[in-house]
Structure 1
Amino acid sequence: MTTPTPSPLTAAAPEPRTAPHRPAIADGISEVVGGTPLVRLAHLFPDSGIEIFAKLESVNPGGSTKDRPALAMVRAGLASGRLAAGGMVVESSSGNLGVALARVCTAHEVRFVCVVDARTNPTTVATIRALGGEIEMVSEPDPATGDLLTARLHRVRQLLEENPGAVNLHQYGNPANPGAHSAGTMPEIARALDHRLDVLMAAVSTTGTLAGCTAYLRETGMGTRTVAVDSVGSVLFGGHGAPRPLPGFGAGVITEISRTVVPDQVVRVDGPEAVAGARLLARREGILAGASTGAIVHALGRLVGELEPGSRLAFIVHDGGIPYLDTVYDDDWVRRVLGTDADALAAIMADLQRSGRRG
């Protein structure tokens, strides 16, 4: 399967702001992207014997970590001349990148068309439209692969052919995607922890967050172990493709960025487990997050017994949970789509809490 190939970037992206704190008065909404809080979690797994920190990317202006690569990719396109006011961007997204790009493109007077699929939350679709973006909905999976992401990428190619001069920023291979995290996300975490971190956990889809953070860790010699949390049914890192009911988590194609990074460990989480993790995080720490973060929480509970007592671990809260109130946090939706009733979900949560105890 061939992904859309963007025109080569002829100029590097401007260096993102990497200050640990946001300005008191910002010159535009883009200036408050990044600088997100790192929070110590004392209640999630209180008997784990490890220090747990959460990087709250959910407080970015668009509500997710995708604000960083969206801003970096658009700035790179403008710097190279590929983009200018009056131009057009066409991008595939499960939702969060679409929200971020809608905001950035509108600010630069660029038309934005977002190709989403039927799994995308209605709230996210409405948000993209409210920010000035246009929606192209893909309802059926690719007939050859049965994958919705493949179908989305096919629709992107069609739209590029139908609109000469339109640009695909290609988040799956654009170096500005991981670059936003090597220049921003990971340095912020490292500075907050005095560069003492034993484990970093991130969920993967394009793998931009993990790749960028890993690049910084290797360049600085921190020795931090990286854990990629992937979806059951994702083909990333040797996985086997299968339907994935939760958007924005895992991938049905091997992305170009994923070929540049080798995580120290891969943990695969299914839909009900991700839901259980998200709900546990909300009820224990008051952090309402999406399914990919819930998957990290579930994977973390399984890893506690493998970690040395006193280890320091940080994970990415990739997005907020409000767009998921009608899905991840709705018992009827979980039963209908994931085939898991409230009692079974409660049992998963109870098992997770037990596994998160040391000894």
Structure 2
Amino acid sequence: MIQTKVTNLIGNTPLLELPVAAPNVRFLLKIEKNNPGGSMKDRMARSMVLAAIKEGRLCEGGTIVESSSGNTGIGLAIVAAELGLRFIAVVDHHAAPDKLAVMRAMGAELRFVDGEYAEDEVAVVERQRLAAELGANIPGAIFMNQSDNPANPAGYQGFVDELIAQTGGEVNAFCGCTGTGGSLSGIARGLKKFNPAIRTVGVEPKGSIVFGQPGHAYYQSGTGTPKGDEVGKVLDYDVIDIGTQVGDAEAFETARYVAQNCGLLVGGSTGGAIYAALEHIHAGKIGGTVVCTVADGGEKYLHTVFDEKWLAARDLLNTGVWRQLAQWMPLARPYAAHPELIEDVA
């Protein structure tokens, strides 16, 4: 079908099955990096903007303001460009440079927060403050406030509907990153409405405070809630069965393992979600058909997550993670095991 709007390309993302060394388990990745902005955040960006227009809070020629580490900003930039709206993204040094470049390319205006912050420190509190200030002071502007905006989780109903259709309703567990909690809560709520027995796993970086652990700095981008910030109102703990944490090294090494063994580039936070899913599968905490989101692609992290010099300088290389993953998910296979490749070439 030929589409006439880029936002019509959002959704209908495919599933990819990866092998796991666990009996009676099917491990599926939903490839949300295939959305036009390269992440699952396109879904909620569209949802928030359309809700604001419908409610009369955003008018023709108006201005969208949002604090973002990158993916939400890219999604909002797409919608703003399509609807002729101005978009101001409030960002900090923690955002991947490639994400900032994409936002600029789509016409977004970037406002960096002031202050001195460590490299692994997220300035989300100051970002939120500045975004709220701009939204209040610019005529015709609205601060989207994804952390507290109910249109954030509501934007993921399409994800749920797709997943149920793609699997024939055979979903036993879902594992996803926990940032504002909008995607995890929206998806978990929808899945449990379909089948209350589905187990849901929320994954945050070590150092995030979402699940009550002590806060400290971390490198994973666009996920978790840093120390000093408040957990967003969109997060619904009632639909999350397991809250777990993954360290930066485990997350990044998993992303690199998947890239080098199956040819799929995933972002660092997705590496963390995959690691957590495999860990819980092999601990017997989840099983059957387990689905994990590829929240975004690794193309935005080539100079960080996939750069060994960058990782080594920050003590984030860990070959032990690869050995563990090789036991959990033996992806590398002999060429002879793929006769279909020879047939395709022929």
Distance apart, 1:141 and its partner CA: 6.2
5 Å-filtered alignment, 1:309-324, equals 311-324=288-301
Q: Which residue is equivalent to 2:315?
A: 339
C-alpha change, 1:308 and 1:98, in structure 2 (3 Å) is closer
Do 1:276 and 1:298's aligned partners in 2 also have CA atoms closer than 8 Å?
no
Q: Quick check: 307-316 or 163-172, which moved more? A: 307-316
Do 2:69 and 2:222's aligned partners in 1 also have CA atoms closer than 8 Å?
yes
Distance apart, 1:298 and its partner CA: 1.4
Identity score, percent:
32
**Aligned residues between the structures:** 324
C-alpha change, 1:139 and 1:276, in structure 2 (3 Å) is farther
Q: Secondary structure at the match of 2:272?
A: helix
The amino acid across from 2:3 in the alignment is A
Kindly indicate whether residue 231 of structure 2 is the aligned counterpart of residue 258 of structure 1: no
Do 2:248 and 2:316's aligned partners in 1 also have CA atoms closer than 8 Å?
no
Q: Which residue is equivalent to 1:130?
A: 105
Q: Choose which of 42, 59, 83 in structure 1 pairs with 2:34.
A: 59
Q: Quick check: 305-314 or 147-156, which moved more? A: 305-314
Distance apart, 1:290 and its partner CA: 0.3
Q: Choose which of 311, 321, 326 in structure 2 pairs with 1:353.
A: 326
Distance apart, 1:138 and its partner CA: 2.4
Q: Quick check: 305-314 or 72-81, which moved more? A: 305-314
Kindly indicate whether residue 169 of structure 2 is the aligned counterpart of residue 195 of structure 1: yes
The separation in 1 between residues aligned to 2:138 and 2:116, in whole angstroms, is 23
Do 1:201 and 1:228's aligned partners in 2 also have CA atoms closer than 8 Å?
yes
Q: Secondary structure at the match of 2:235?
A: helix
Distance apart, 1:222 and its partner CA: 4.7
Kindly indicate whether residue 289 of structure 2 is the aligned counterpart of residue 325 of structure 1: no
Q: Secondary structure at the match of 1:258?
A: coil
Kindly indicate whether residue 57 of structure 2 is the aligned counterpart of residue 82 of structure 1: yes
5 Å-filtered alignment, 1:226-241, equals 226-241=200-215
Q: Deviations over 1:11-64 (max 9, x none)?
A: xxxxxxxxxxxxx1112111110011112123xx3x222211110000000000
Do 2:27 and 2:291's aligned partners in 1 also have CA atoms closer than 8 Å?
yes
Kindly indicate whether residue 5 of structure 2 is the aligned counterpart of residue 28 of structure 1: yes
Do 1:278 and 1:290's aligned partners in 2 also have CA atoms closer than 8 Å?
yes
Distance apart, 1:86 and its partner CA: 1.4
Q: Choose which of 162, 175, 181 in structure 1 pairs with 2:137.
A: 162
The amino acid across from 1:352 in the alignment is L
Structure 1 residue ranges without an equivalent (≥5): 1-23
Do 2:64 and 2:142's aligned partners in 1 also have CA atoms closer than 8 Å?
yes
The separation in 2 between residues aligned to 1:113 and 1:51, in whole angstroms, is 42
5 Å-filtered alignment, 1:224-303, equals 224-252=198-226, 253-259=230-236, 261-303=238-280
Distance apart, 1:207 and its partner CA: 0.9
Q: Which residue is equivalent to 1:94?
A: 69
The separation in 1 between residues aligned to 2:97 and 2:188, in whole angstroms, is 33
The separation in 2 between residues aligned to 1:156 and 1:81, in whole angstroms, is 20
Structure 2 residue ranges without an equivalent (≥5): 331-346
The amino acid across from 1:351 in the alignment is Q
* TM-score normalized by the length of structure 1: 0.85
Q: Deviations over 1:87-144 (max 9, x none)?
A: 111100110010110110111111100011101111110110100100011253689x
Q: Choose which of 173, 176, 197 in structure 2 pairs with 1:223.
A: 197
Q: Secondary structure at the match of 1:300?
A: helix
Measured on the aligned residues, the alpha-carbon RMSD in Å equals: 2.0
Stretches (4+) displaced over 6 A: none
The separation in 1 between residues aligned to 2:296 and 2:282, in whole angstroms, is 27
The separation in 2 between residues aligned to 1:256 and 1:310, in whole angstroms, is 30
Q: Quick check: 299-308 or 269-278, which moved more? A: 299-308
Distance apart, 1:276 and its partner CA: 0.9
Q: Secondary structure at the match of 1:197?
A: coil
Distance apart, 1:198 and its partner CA: 1.2
